[in-house]
Amino acid sequence: MGRGILSLKLIPNLKSRRTTFLKRKKSLMKKAYELSTLCDVQTCVFIASDCDPAAQFETWPPNRDQIHAMIRSYKSHSFLKQSRNSSYDLNRFLSDRRNKIVTDTAKLRHNVDKFKDHNLDSLSEHQLKDFLATLDTKIGVVDDMIQFMEADYDYLIEEVIGTPSFCPSETEESCEYNVEDFQSLLEDEFLGALVQNHPFNFDSELIA
């Protein structure tokens, strides 16, 4: 191109390569800007500029939040597409795990019910109180851990899928699933199962 014809292989000369890289990077970004402006489509470019250690990545659009929004949008589409094709998808994964939790919880409830029928009078009040205090602390730690993980889940899920507000409603018609559906799926199947199960109220069940 330009004055000489270039074959589409790695440019062997380092200097030429670098020059070409800088020129073409600039043009690619400009084209990305033009495409998105002229046609109002979400367009995103990243280039790993090894040449420039300070920048590492140059992107269009330069704003990080916009890039993240694009990534989330891409991921949610890509993920759902994959789910529909893959034989072992996230739906399956979550519902298998959920079933296990449900089964185990049922076993626990059964045992707790059995336990409630026993007479606790033979325990001294002090022993019972102490024991329950220990249990409370124990439960507290477990709750903290669960909250700890849930908070991070939210954070991680946000990173992976993003906020529902991004998905513009105008594309909903053509989109079999959207980000909101997917978030609900996760929340229903997964966090839902946790929230439902984790406040055990062990002590009140024990005392009742």
Partner DNA sequence: CCCTCTATATATAATGG
Partner DNA sequence: TCCATTATATATAGAGG
The residues binding DNA (CB under 7 A) are 1-6, 11, 15-16, 18-20, 22-24, 26-28, 30-31, 34, 38, 51
Calculate ∠ Cα 31-72-25, nearest 5°. Answer: 25
Which partner from the list its own copies, DNA, none does 204 bind, CB cut-off 5 to 8 Å by kind?
Answer: none
Evaluate the omega torsion of the peptide bond into residue 61 and state whether it is cis, within 30 degrees of 0.
yes
Among residues 41, 86, 77, the alpha carbon closest in space to that of 60 is found at 41
**From 95, 152, 195, 196, residue interacting with its own copies (rule: CB under 8 A):** 152
**From 83, 187, 192, 198, residue interacting with its own copies (rule: CB under 8 A):** 198
Which partner from the list DNA, its own copies, none does 95 bind, CB cut-off 5 to 8 Å by kind?
Answer: none
Longest dimension (CA), the chain: 98
Binding positions for its own copies, 26-65, rule CB under 8 A: 27-28, 31-32, 34-35, 37-50, 53, 56-57, 59, 64
Binding positions for its own copies, 4-33, rule CB under 8 A: 6, 8-11, 17-18, 20-21, 24-25, 27-28, 31-32
DSSP string, 126-190: HHHHHHHHHHHHHHHHHHHHHHHHHHHHHHHHHHHT--GGGS-GGGTTT-SS-HHHHHHHHIIII
Rounded CA-CA distance 72/159 in Å is: 7
* Beta carbon of residue 3, minimum distance to DNA (angstroms, whole number): 3
The answer to the question of residue 185 lying near its own copies (CB under 8 A) is: no
Token pair listed for 39: 């046609």
* Beta carbon of residue 165, minimum distance to DNA (angstroms, whole number): 29
Rounded CA-CA distance 75/28 in Å is: 23
**From 70, 179, 182, 183, residue interacting with its own copies (rule: CB under 8 A):** 70
* Beta carbon of residue 59, minimum distance to DNA (angstroms, whole number): 17
Q: Hey, how many other C-beta atoms are within 10 angstroms of the C-beta on 72?
A: 20
**From 99, 104, 195, 196, residue interacting with its own copies (rule: CB under 8 A):** 104
